[in-house]
Structure 1
C-alpha cells in the first residue's frame, strides 16, 4: 500500500471529479474495443437462432459468423471465440464430431479467414458440445470422467482446430495435464505458432446455465462437472492450476466466470504476469439483460461498468457476448 500524505482541506479529492474531462484525464483503467473478444455460438442453417435465456444474443450460421468477423475487424475488436450448437443427432459417447474438419467450427474458421483474414479466432477445446452425456471429457462405464483418455482426445481436437485455421486454441475442459499434451501435439503437427489460452481457473459455476442451453448441452448433461471443474470456495487451488498450466506452456490464462471471481483475475495477473483473460459468462450477461428489462438499471451503463471492473482487476482481455455492442458504445 502506498503511503499517501495530505489532509483536508489541503487535499480535496473531489477536485479530480468535478467534470467529465478531468475524470477522464485521471482515470486509472480503461476499456477499448481491442480488449474485447466476441463470444459466438454457431448453428447450422435451419437450427434455431434464438437463445431464450440470453436476450439480445443469437446463434449464428457460418455465413453470419463470417460477416460478424468482418465487422469485428473494422470495429477493432480483439477477436472472436467460437462455440458450436450441436444437435442430439450429432452427439455420441466419444464426441466424434469434435475431430471432423467439416464440423461447424471448421467450416466457420475457413469462412472467417476467407472473408476477414485479419480476424483472430479462438477455438474452444472440450468435448461437451459433442458428447451425448454432456461432459467435457470421455466417460467410463461407472460414470467417471476419464482424465488421460480425454487428454488424448483433446489433443486430436486441438490439432483439428489448428488445421482449419484457428489462431488460438482454448482448452476449457479442466483435465489435468492437457495444456502440456496439447502443446506437444500442436508442435508435432507443425503448429508451433498456434497459441494456447488455458482456462486455468474455471469454477463449477451455476452461471453457465444459459450457455448450456445455447450449445444444446443442458438436456444431455448427466450429473454435474464438480469432479473436474473447481470448487467456488477455493482460491489457492486456482493459483496451483495456473502454475501447472504456465509450466506446461500456456501462452495466456483464463479466469471463468469473471465478475464473481475478480479476486482471482487480480491474483493470477499479479502472480504470473501473463496475458490474463476474464470471461463474462452467459449467466452474467443474462443477469444484466434480465435486470435491465425489469427496470432495475440501464443495460448499457451496467455492461460498461462491469467491463471496466474486469480491466481494473487486471484483465488484459474480456470474452463477452456483448463485445460488438460494447465497441459501438465506446466509439459512438
Structure 2
C-alpha cells in the first residue's frame, strides 16, 4: 500500500508522490557527485579561481542535506535532525552574492528551526551587506521587488526570539506586507487558543498551495524549500513556547503528518566532524586540494578513532 494512501488531502498525497518522501537516499552517489564537483573546481589552476567560491558547493547535492532531512523525517528516522542542522549550516555558508530579500528567508527559517543563533547572526550580517548595495537605491528590480509574506514573518520571529535584527525594518519597506500572517503579529500578545481553527486551516492550505504542486508561478513556490514541513508555523509556535506563550492545537491534516514535528535538540550534528564541511573549510584555509581519505584521517587524528564522523 503506498505511503500516501493514509492521507485524504489531495495536495498532501501529491507532495508525497512528487517529492518521494518514502524513498531511500543514495548517500554514496551523493557523496561521489559532491566530490567530483570539488575535484573539477580545484583542478590545476582552477583552485586559485574558485577558492573563494567553494562555499557555494555546500548548497549542492541536496540528498546530503535538505532532501535527506525531509525523507528521513517522513520515514520516522531521528537521524533526520542532523541533516536539518547540516542544511541550516550549508545553506548559510553557500549563500553568496544573492541580495534578493526572499532568497535568504529559507536559510533563516532553517537556522531558527534548529535554534542555531550563530547561523542566524551570520545570515543577518549577510543581509545587512546585501541591503546596503547600490542596487537597492538605483535598480527597480530591487527597489520594486515582491516579497513573500512568510519572509516578513521570519524577520518578525527572529526579533521575538530575542536577537537583534538589524534588517527587519528595512525589509518591511519592500513588498506588500505580512498578508495572511498579519493576524499572528496583531494578536501576538493575546491567547492563540482564542483564534478560530479556520484561520490555522487557511495557513496550512497556504503552505500546501506554495509547494509548486499546482503550477510553477511565483506565488505557488513560496514553500518549496520546506516541502511538507510547515516550518514557518512550527517556528511561530517554537518562539511562543520559548516566551511562555500558548500555542494552538492544529487540527488540519498537515499537522497529522510526520512532517509537523519539532526538532530533537541537540541534533547530534557537529560541523567539526562533518567530512563535507571540513573538506571545503580546510581547502579554503590551506589553499590546497584534499582527498576525502585525507580529511577523514585528519579528523580521526584530531578527535579520535571512535569519533562520530559524519559523511
Higher strand share: 1
TM-score, structure 1 length as denominator?
A: 0.27
TM-score, structure 2 length as denominator?
A: 0.29
